[in-house]
């Protein structure tokens, strides 16, 4: 009997309880699997601790207005310039397996959170780097050669605490780790919110009037939220940004924010962009900080208009569910709208305005009458850290980005958003406008809708279940004096697994758990999500993920997202392991009511010594299936932005009449010098463009019909192309 009906996955469009902690527990940016070496092992040398040289003014206060209309970044930290090199500082040791490890610890007095900026950063393949606190409650990494970038720099996410340990692992077959030094240590002095178990130091810092994004069960909000990112830069400064679509709809990772947040290439290069940082349910616990990327380049900005357009220097994985927001450059005042943002760097919030916006003047040196005025938020507000957040109209298109204002929880009035229409092309230079970057096809649209590159992919998934829709969900306890056979119980069962047998292997991205009871006695109460291979009973572990029981909601459907994609065979087991460290803990999932008629059983339990089917364990008393439902896919999607040519640079259209596009296969850290010459070698145009270019448009070409040579110089590399002009 087939008891795993195909259920189309609705994770992407519905509000679910989503848990996204990293395994073991590793939280991080683009990273590879791995674990740090044990802190203590036989013969382990003592780790050197270095004091971070803090400035005299130890504690930076959150920015205040001084009587003026305030800008709204969150400022509570500083970046300390240092110069620590593994060849000069820290301790090296060689392990029994031949690996060499380097470790150093850094302490900063009175600091709440710390991060590291590596520069240079260029690792040889096989080298791994981890960051962690002394108790290893939070671990970042492994950072490897996949994090090498043309800027030769890597800024990490922040770790809670005032001591940070850096560890590098070098395989014995390598004679060099590459290039690495610590050039900066970010120190943040925030007074953290402290609600529940923190994964992030800024959780709980927003005002209580703010509304969690997952308090609104609206498919549009739940889609648009995936465009919003928290930006952390310059040692703990926080702002909000939004992914933007462009007329090619090719998924280039443009992020718009405020100029007063990021106005320099250095700040952009060292920024960390957090995706999907939100509380898993309405007014729930801290969210996951697992999804972030490091580094961007500054495409366009201007101090007369408060905007900066950044392009991320690392790809955004499809598991981040990126959404590229649409926009409107008409300048028409919207009748209503909303903003999704990260006040004080807290989890994602939403504020709504239900009245028309007004055109007004913000002052403070910005161009006159280039801001929208939100007179009064009907729900929520904005705060420090909300700067750069988008205002989205009733068509869900971006029309402005937050500069600042007087709005607070106590008095949510008068916020000012830089008008997107003025940022478009008020200034002709490509470095001071959005049109050049967001309209590469030069079609000059009045508006552009958003782009959801993976929408069709998410619809291909299955949520597998061995429980049919006709069966009742219950808790079976049999002869147990307390608890149930699907969780903590009087027999002290520690493992609970569900067996799945399919026609072919799958790609698993997470689990649905239909949680029944979840009473948590202590924040230290943990569980492990598991995937095992095996035929008759669970065997080798394919995946393990530890997280807090407090992150699961009782009497609710919870989605536990994996931090990597697991390939299974046609038969596999998945489930969880529980601990009994706190006697009051009571966790259980629902299960199918006892099948005494057909004796169909797919539930398995572990008694501390061996795995048995639930039917065997209860001596034929209970036949059931646990409400453990893996989310699986047959295939994985391709990258969005993937040039379909192999040359380093191409030009098109060819022939052309008035403009030429240059497209580069890879980003380069060098400026681009372009020289256009006619067949006689006369120079018709010379122009210099910034580094990290995907595309360059040569326009307003007043040239006669003929063949022209395009000479492109990037550093020491020269490319020669030919273009035909036909009038």
CA 604 from chain centre, in angstroms, equals 35
Portion of the chain with pLDDT greater than 70, in percent = 92
55-64, 178-187, 347-356: segment of lowest average pLDDT: 55-64
> Distance between CA atoms of 52 and 102, rounded to whole angstroms?
19
Domain edge (last residue) among 607, 633, 659: 633
What pLDDT, on the 0 to 100 scale, is given for residue 22? Answer: 32
Q: At 404, list the tokens.
A: 């600042």
What pLDDT, on the 0 to 100 scale, is given for residue 32? Answer: 63
Structural domain that includes position 315: 214-455
CB distance 304 to 363 below 8 Å: no
Spatial neighbors of 278 by CB under 8 A, at least 6 apart, are 212, 213, 214, 225, 287, 347, 348
Q: At 260, list the tokens.
A: 């007063």
Same domain (yes/no): 383, 250: yes
Phi and psi dihedrals of 718, rounded to 5? Answer: -120, 130
CB distance 77 to 188 below 8 Å: yes
Same domain (yes/no): 413, 277: yes
Q: Sign of the CA dihedral 127, 312, 387, 390? A: negative
What pLDDT, on the 0 to 100 scale, is given for residue 30? Answer: 62
Residue 432 has pLDDT above 50, yes or no: yes
- Mean local confidence (pLDDT), 26-44: 71
Same domain (yes/no): 468, 415: no
Q: What is the pLDDT of residues 329-373, one digit of tens each?
A: 999 999 999 999 999 999 999 999 999 999 999 999 999 999 999
Name the burial class of residue 195, with classes exposed (0-12), middle (13-18) and buried (19+) by CB atoms within 10 angstroms of its CB: middle
> Distance between CA atoms of 151 and 295, rounded to whole angstroms?
9
> Distance between CA atoms of 423 and 601, rounded to whole angstroms?
62
Same domain (yes/no): 378, 439: yes
Q: 58 lies in a domain?
A: yes
Same domain (yes/no): 395, 246: yes
Looking at the structure of the chain, the number of domains it has is: 4
What pLDDT, on the 0 to 100 scale, is given for residue 54? Answer: 86
Q: 372 lies in a domain?
A: yes
Domain edge (last residue) among 633, 662, 687: 633
Spatial neighbors of 57 by CB under 8 A, at least 6 apart, are none
Same domain (yes/no): 423, 492: no
The CATH number given to whatever domain includes residue 293 is: 2.40.10.10
Spatial neighbors of 71 by CB under 8 A, at least 6 apart, are 63, 258, 260, 387, 403, 404
- Top-confidence range, 65-79, 182-196, 620-634: 620-634
CB distance 260 to 387 below 8 Å: yes
Domain edge (last residue) among 437, 455, 473: 455
What pLDDT, on the 0 to 100 scale, is given for residue 176? Answer: 95
**pLDDT band at residue 84 using 50, 70 and 90 as cut-offs:** very high
Q: Running DSSP on this structure, what letter comes out for residue 48?
A: P
Same domain (yes/no): 270, 152: no
Q: At 622, list the tokens.
A: 């209970």
Find the length of the chain: 727
> Distance between CA atoms of 290 and 20, rounded to whole angstroms?
7
**Residue-wise DSSP of 381-447:** ---TT-TTPEEEETTSEEEEEEEEES--SSS-EEEEEEEHHHHHHSS-SGGG-SHHHH-TT----SE
> Distance between CA atoms of 391 and 386, rounded to whole angstroms?
11
- Could you tell me which of 435, 431, 423, 436 has the C-alpha nearest to residue 304? 423
Same domain (yes/no): 522, 387: no
Same domain (yes/no): 434, 490: no
Label each residue of 251-263 as H, E or C.
Answer: CCCEEEECCCCCC
Residue 14 has pLDDT above 60, yes or no: no
Q: 158 lies in a domain?
A: yes
Same domain (yes/no): 100, 163: yes
Same domain (yes/no): 426, 544: no
Q: Sign of the CA dihedral 378, 380, 384, 390? A: negative
Same domain (yes/no): 301, 400: yes
Q: 642 lies in a domain?
A: no
Q: 643 lies in a domain?
A: no
What pLDDT, on the 0 to 100 scale, is given for residue 199? Answer: 72
CB distance 77 to 157 below 8 Å: no
Q: 79 lies in a domain?
A: yes
Q: 10 lies in a domain?
A: no
**pLDDT band at residue 151 using 50, 70 and 90 as cut-offs:** confident
Give the up-direction half-sphere exposure of residue 392: CA atoms within 13 A in the CB hemisphere: 28
The CATH number given to whatever domain includes residue 558 is: 2.60.120
What pLDDT, on the 0 to 100 scale, is given for residue 189? Answer: 86
What pLDDT, on the 0 to 100 scale, is given for residue 116? Answer: 96
Phi and psi dihedrals of 701, rounded to 5? Answer: -85, 105
User: Using CA atoms in the order 632, 637, 639, 645, what is the torsion angle rounded to 10 degrees?
Assistant: 150
**Enclosing H/E stretch for 617:** helix 614-617
The CATH number given to whatever domain includes residue 681 is: 2.60.40.3080
* Residue spans of beta strands (DSSP E) within 579-640: 586-589, 591-592, 603-606, 611-613, 628-633
Q: List the alpha helices (DSSP H) in 242-375.
A: 265-269
Q: What is the pLDDT of residues 544-594, one digit of tens each?
A: 988 788 888 899 999 998 878 899 999 999 999 999 987 777 899 999 999
Q: 93 lies in a domain?
A: yes
């Amino acid at each position: 009997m087939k008891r795993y009906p195909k259920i189309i996955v609705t994770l992407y469009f519905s509000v679910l309880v989503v848990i996204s902690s990293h395994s073991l527990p590793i939280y991080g940016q683009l990273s590879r699997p791995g674990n740090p070496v044990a802190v203590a092992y036989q013969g382990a040398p003592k780790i050197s601790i270095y004091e971070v040289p803090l400035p005299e003014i130890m504690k930076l206060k959150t920015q205040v207005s001084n009587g003026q209309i305030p800008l709204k970044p969150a400022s509570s930290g500083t970046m300390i310039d240092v110069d620590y090199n593994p060849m000069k500082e820290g301790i090296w040791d060689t392990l029994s397996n031949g690996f060499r490890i380097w470790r150093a610890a850094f302490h900063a007095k009175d600091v709440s959170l710390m991060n590291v900026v590596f520069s240079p950063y260029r690792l040889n393949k096989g080298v791994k780097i981890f960051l962690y606190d002394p108790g290893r409650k939070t671990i970042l990494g492994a950072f490897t050669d996949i994090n090498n970038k043309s800027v030769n720099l890597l800024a990490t996410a922040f770790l809670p605490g005032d001591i940070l340990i850096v560890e590098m692992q070098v395989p014995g077959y390598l004679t060099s780790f590459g290039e690495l030094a610590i050039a900066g240590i970010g120190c943040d002095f925030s007074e953290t919110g402290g609600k529940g178990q923190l994964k992030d130091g800024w959780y709980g810092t927003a005002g209580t009037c703010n509304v969690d994004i997952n308090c609104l069960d609206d498919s549009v909000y739940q889609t648009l939220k995936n465009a919003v990112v928290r930006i952390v830069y310059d040692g703990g400064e926080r702002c909000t940004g939004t992914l933007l679509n462009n007329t090619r709809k090719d998924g280039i990772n443009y992020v718009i924010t405020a100029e007063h947040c990021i106005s320099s290439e250095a700040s952009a290069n060292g920024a960390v962009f957090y995706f999907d940082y939100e509380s898993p349910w309405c007014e729930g616990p801290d969210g996951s900080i697992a999804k972030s990327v490091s580094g961007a380049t500054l495409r366009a900005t201007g101090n007369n208009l408060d905007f900066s357009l950044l392009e991320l220097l690392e790809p955004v994985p499809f598991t981040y569910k990126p959404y590229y927001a649409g926009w409107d450059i008409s300048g028409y005042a919207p009748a209503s709208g909303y903003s999704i943002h990260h006040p004080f760097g807290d989890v994602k919030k939403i504020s709504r305005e239900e009245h028309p916006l007004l055109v007004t003047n913000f002052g403070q040196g910005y161009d006159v009458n280039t801001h929208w005025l939100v007179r009064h938020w009907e729900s929520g507000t904005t705060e420090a850290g909300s700067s750069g957040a988008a205002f989205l109209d009733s068509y869900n298109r971006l029309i402005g980005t937050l500069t600042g204002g007087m709005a607070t929880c106590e008095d949510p009035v008068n916020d000012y958003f830089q008008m997107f229409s003025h940022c478009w092309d008020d200034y002709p230079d490509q470095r001071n406008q959005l049109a050049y970057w967001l309209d590469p096809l030069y079609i000059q649209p009045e508006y552009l809708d958003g782009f959801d590159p993976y929408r069709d992919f998410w619809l291909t998934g299955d949520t597998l279940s061995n429980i049919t829709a006709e069966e009742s969900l219950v808790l079976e306890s049999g002869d147990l004096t307390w608890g149930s056979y699907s969780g903590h119980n009087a027999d002290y069962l520690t493992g609970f697994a569900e067996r799945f047998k399919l026609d072919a292997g799958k790609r698993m991205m997470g689990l649905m758990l239909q949680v029944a009871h979840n009473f948590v006695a202590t924040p230290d109460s943990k569980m492990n999500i598991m995937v095992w291979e095996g035929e008759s009973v669970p065997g080798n572990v394919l995946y393990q993920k530890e997280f807090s029981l407090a992150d699961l909601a009782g009497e609710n459907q919870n989605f536990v997202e994996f931090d990597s994609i697991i390939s299974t065979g046609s038969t596999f087991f998945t489930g969880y392991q529980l601990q009994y460290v706190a006697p009051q803990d009571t966790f259980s999932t629902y299960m199918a009511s006892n099948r005494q008629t057909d004796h169909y059983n797919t539930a398995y339990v572990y008694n501390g010594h061996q795995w048995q089917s639930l039917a065997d364990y209860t001596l034929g008393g209970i036949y059931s299936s646990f409400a453990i439902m893996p989310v699986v896919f047959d295939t994985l999607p391709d990258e969005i932005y993937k040039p379909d040519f192999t040359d380093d640079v191409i030009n098109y259209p060819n022939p052309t009449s008035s403009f030429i596009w240059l497209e580069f296969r890879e980003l380069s850290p060098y400026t681009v010098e372009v020289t256009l010459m006619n067949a006689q070698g006369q120079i018709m145009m010379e122009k210099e463009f910034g580094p990290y270019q995907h595309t360059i448009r040569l326009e307003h070409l007043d040239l006669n019909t003929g063949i022209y040579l395009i000479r492109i110089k990037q550093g020491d590399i020269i490319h020669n192309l030919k273009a035909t002009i036909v009038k």
